[in-house]
A = this chain, B = another copy of it.
């Protein structure tokens, strides 16, 4: 998917919501455990319920890996289901990968060749040659960690270099030598509030994937205020707040209500774009 196509989808839907599929088998409604593949059954219901109100889905690899090869199967079925039924959705593998070249090549093959993902989250610690193997797949995206939503972001990302540049700023600047805003996005945590203005100084035109709204406490209004650009430039993720809005058989309706609520707030921020 191109940047322009993603922007068109956002305008059409009036939503830049990304639904995070952090599906925890211990949290899904108990009646689903009778299904052959409870995780897929849950995802399918969530996707059907929310697709009208979001532009992206982001399965979180860890939750599937924790179930061994069966989890991998559930994940593959989920991605195929989105691809087949909602081809306009942007599908992100939230995997935070990154390794030496020949290994990153294998990770890239896993998400882009074997699975139908549009994008993968990548950790920058190992530098250029750990990121490059994910680039160059036509229409596919790298979403590089810049400034994350968790408390631990302070430990290294916010430390300053001798040149006064903080590590997340160095990542934003340096990585623009590797790829343009047509194939790279950045992760910027919603909990970072006004730091979005600093991010936009270095990366004015990039899309940002923004976790941390909802359960983690970030403010959508603040993200929109400091982070939005002329092409929206935001995909704001919500996971737990939508997935587990209701613990009963009515979970999908509740998820739909939550997704609609978020997207209605987003529509307001999109008025001027």
Which residues in A have some Cβ–Cβ distance to B below 8 Å? Answer: 22, 24, 60, 62-63, 65-70, 72-73, 76, 94, 96-104, 106-107, 109-110, 113-115, 123-131, 145, 148-157, 159-162, 164, 167, 170-171, 174, 211, 216
Task: For A70, list chain B residues within 8 Å (CB).
Answer: 69
A123 & B150 in contact (Cβ 8 Å cutoff): no
Instruction: Tell me, rounded to whole Å, the shortest Cβ–Cβ distance linking A156 to chain B.
Output: 6
Task: For A96, list chain B residues within 8 Å (CB).
Answer: 97-99, 123, 126
Instruction: Tell me, rounded to whole Å, the shortest Cβ–Cβ distance linking A233 to chain B.
Output: 23
B167 & A155 in contact (Cβ 8 Å cutoff): no
A129 to B155, CA, bound (A): 10
Task: For A60, list chain B residues within 8 Å (CB).
Answer: 99, 103, 106
A264 to B138, CA, bound (A): 48
A181 to B157, CA, bound (A): 24
A167 to B166, CA, bound (A): 11
B100 & A66 in contact (Cβ 8 Å cutoff): no
Out of B73, B103, B145, B159, name the residue touching A126 (CB < 8 Å).
Answer: B145
A124 to B63, CA, bound (A): 20
Task: For A170, list chain B residues within 8 Å (CB).
Answer: 156, 159
A145 & B125 in contact (Cβ 8 Å cutoff): yes
A128 to B157, CA, bound (A): 12
A96-B97, A160-B162, A174-B155 as given contacts; A76 in contact with B68, CB under 8 Å? yes
Task: For A72, list chain B residues within 8 Å (CB).
Answer: 68-69, 72
A24 to B154, CA, bound (A): 38
A69-B69, A72-B69, A76-B68 as given contacts; A125 in contact with B161, CB under 8 Å? no
B150 & A171 in contact (Cβ 8 Å cutoff): no
A68-B115, A101-B150 as given contacts; A106 in contact with B62, CB under 8 Å? yes
Instruction: Tell me, rounded to whole Å, the shortest Cβ–Cβ distance linking A149 to chain B.
Output: 7
Among A106, A129, A153, A171, chain B packs the most CB atoms within 10 A around the CB of A106
A125 & B123 in contact (Cβ 8 Å cutoff): yes
A65-B110, A68-B114, A123-B125 as given contacts; A152 in contact with B167, CB under 8 Å? no
Task: For A216, list chain B residues within 8 Å (CB).
Answer: 100
Task: For A113, list chain B residues within 8 Å (CB).
Answer: 66
- Closest chain B residue to A159 by CB distance? B161
Q: List 16 A-B contacts (CB under 8 A).
A: A60-B103, A62-B99, A62-B107, A65-B106, A66-B113, A66-B114, A67-B114, A68-B76, A69-B70, A72-B72, A126-B150, A128-B152, A128-B155, A160-B162, A162-B162, A167-B167
